[in-house]
Amino acid sequence: MSGAHTWECQLELPNDPRASYIARHTIRTALLGYAHTRELTDKAELLTSELVSNAVKHSDGPVAVRLNSRPTTIRIGVMDNHPELPTPLPCTPDQDFGRGLFLVDALADTWGRYPVAPHSRTPGWKVVWFELSVLRG
């Protein structure tokens, strides 16, 4: 199956520690099913897990994950009901937490965050997203 077309996958998860496992498995299955490389899939799976874990930790509502695959990039966004826009923390070797956005910043080709518009169905929410380039050989 060729990965040269556009497609998307959406997932709504409860605010539960198992949400990151479900998101990782879904992203892996979706990307490998469309013939993306294992390296791209591993990176997308790791970064999605970090963002979903952050969403579960910092919000009290459901978490939504959206994967958009285009011929040259994949974009994954995670939406939660905690309105504060996150910022990467400086990483230190003795730190047990706070590496999620540091990893996203280091491994994604680009990433960002934005509040969900107040006129939408989910005002007060935010989205944190990242993009990875799809390299074709």
**pLDDT for res 1:** 40
pLDDT higher at 122 or 60: 60
What pairs with residue 132 in β-bridges?
A: 74
Burial class (CB within 10 angstroms; exposed 0-12, middle 13-18, buried 19+) of 31: buried
User: Tens digits of per-residue pLDDT, 14-63?
Assistant: 999 999 999 999 999 999 877 678 899 999 999 999 999 999 999 999 99
Distances (CA, A) of 115 to 37, 79, 120, 123, 125: 32, 9, 11, 8, 6
pTM recorded for the entire structure: 0.86
Which CATH number is 7-133 given?
A: 3.30.565.10
pLDDT of 128 strictly over 60: yes
Token pair of 74 as six digits = 């994949």
